[in-house]
Structure 1
């Protein structure tokens, strides 16, 4: 029998990690009370610590500030790709125009 993989919201992860970091619970205590494995809770705690230090995580961010940073970085990447496409299109159009005038 296969066990379904659970998914947790960013808010839940943030609250769970905050129990350990801010309220003094041990990882084992918090894991038991939330019915979450210690390994995953330990990852969330480490991620929250890194985010509070200003490091943007590779996975989905927990804190609203880091989530905003990730959204803005994604937007920048998209705009840079669009800019590169427009540059290539302009180059091709200019080449066609030069060939017609010769």
Structure 2
């Protein structure tokens, strides 16, 4: 079970929108500077807000990287592969156990 979120999604969306608006109004404003300006207003740590904004840019296709949806899919597939490998190990062990019971002369 994932850990509970510390900040509500509405606050996250509002903070990201404020940073994007600040950067749009001032073209020379960097992401870091915009986050340092907006973070105290919404009572969020600067690094947290910067991470949210970077993730939003990746999801929007403005920054290279793995989107949130793709990352979730990969994690789900990795869990499934791990589960299937465990099941295969169990089946292999069971099949060799039953093969030995049927013919004790077999080397395994």
* TM-score category of the 2 structures, normalised to the smaller one: 0.5 to 0.7
| Moved segments of 4+, more than 6 Å | none
How high is the TM-score relative to the length of structure 2?
0.54
Q: 1:36 aligns with which of 31, 40, 43?
A: 43
Corresponding residue for 1:48? 53
Partner SS for 2:76: helix
Note the aligned Cα RMSD (angstroms).
Answer: 3.0
Q: Is the 8 A contact 2:16 2:52 kept in 1?
A: no
Mark the structure with the bigger radius of gyration.
Answer: 2
* Gaps in structure 1 of 5+ consecutive residues: 1-5, 57-65
CA gap 1:28/1:90 in 2 versus in 1, 3 angstroms:
closer
Superposition deviation, residue 46 in structure 1:
5.2
Corresponding residue for 2:85? 84
Greater relative contact order (Cα < 8 A, sep 6+): 1
Corresponding residue for 1:7? 7
